[in-house]
Amino acid sequence: MPNILALLECLQRHTTRTTLRRWSRIIPAILAMSGRITMLGISRWCGKGGSYRTIQRFFASSLPWAVLFWVFFKEHIFCSKETYILAGDEVVVSKAGEKSYGIDRFFSSLYEKPILGLSFFTLSLVSVEKRKAFPISVEQIIKPKEDKVKKVAEKPKSSKNELNTETIKKKGGRPKGSRTKDKKEVNLTPDFLRIRCMVQDLLKKISKFLPLTYLVLDGYFGNNKAVVMARQLGLHLIC
């Protein structure tokens, strides 16, 4: 295994020496572990200098992860001869309990149903030649708190005569008198606004060094709103 501390030297300007030493113990432990990764499990694999309390201090600290990802990518991974595109996707991690920040029910494609866990949206730079993705920005998805539902008075039971009446069907096709709307003027949902903010922040960091042309998203974003969002960012959407 290469010297982890030597690879992390490029991050010294953006973090402390103590954080780098903790990384040099935590990263080999995570690479050696199998199965679910927890702070207790990491401390057992770290050996000397990686006590459980040290691991807790590390994960309790605030770090500029977006900057660190980009600096590491530019220093050790970037190749000027390769073509890169930006890809985004959501990942759901199952988790039990009630105290984890942002825990809620999210749809998991692996289980094909909503599960209790945490959800993250990740932006990655994908090398077209190597066919590899390198995470560059990660943000946790927090569902907004729903307003308390007001109690609605029960509707009176319908009579037999009302049940037998035929329901009025709406005519198909375009409503009479409607006008053509400008497809470029759309109201973006909170999901699109969050993704647009993430991409904007990333482009500010890397656009001068690595100009991007394409944004890749999954089928959920195969609609006009996603196209408008991508064009607002100066990118072309691949979906």
pLDDT digits (tens, 9 = 90+) for 180-237: 777 777 888 888 899 999 999 999 988 888 989 999 998 888 888 999 999 999 999 9
pLDDT class of 150 with cuts at 50, 70, 90: very low
Within this chain, do residues 33 and 130 fall inside the same structural domain, yes or no? no
Within this chain, do residues 131 and 81 fall inside the same structural domain, yes or no? yes
Structure tokens at 190: 């909170």
Within this chain, do residues 129 and 216 fall inside the same structural domain, yes or no? yes
With respect to residue 162, please indicate whether it lies within any of the assigned structural domains.
no
Rounded Cα distance between 112 and 191, Å, is 21
Reduced to 3 states (helix: H, G, I; strand: E, B; else coil), residue 63 is: coil
Total structural domains in the chain? 2
Within this chain, do residues 131 and 39 fall inside the same structural domain, yes or no? no
CA atoms lying within 13 Å on the CB side of residue 128? 12
pLDDT of residue 174: 75
pTM for the predicted model, two decimal places: 0.77
Within this chain, do residues 95 and 136 fall inside the same structural domain, yes or no? yes
User: 36: domain range?
Assistant: 1-63
Within this chain, do residues 134 and 234 fall inside the same structural domain, yes or no? yes
Helices 190-206 and 224-232, packing angle to 10 deg: 30
Helices 65-72 and 190-206, packing angle to 10 deg: 50
Within this chain, do residues 10 and 121 fall inside the same structural domain, yes or no? no
DSSP label at 124? Answer: E
With respect to residue 27, please indicate whether it lies within any of the assigned structural domains.
yes
Task: Tell me the per-residue pLDDT of 82-132, one tens digit each, with 9 for 90 and over.
Answer: 999 999 999 998 887 778 888 899 988 888 899 999 999 999 999 999 999
pLDDT class of 139 with cuts at 50, 70, 90: very high
Which one of 28, 63, 98 terminates a domain?
Answer: 63
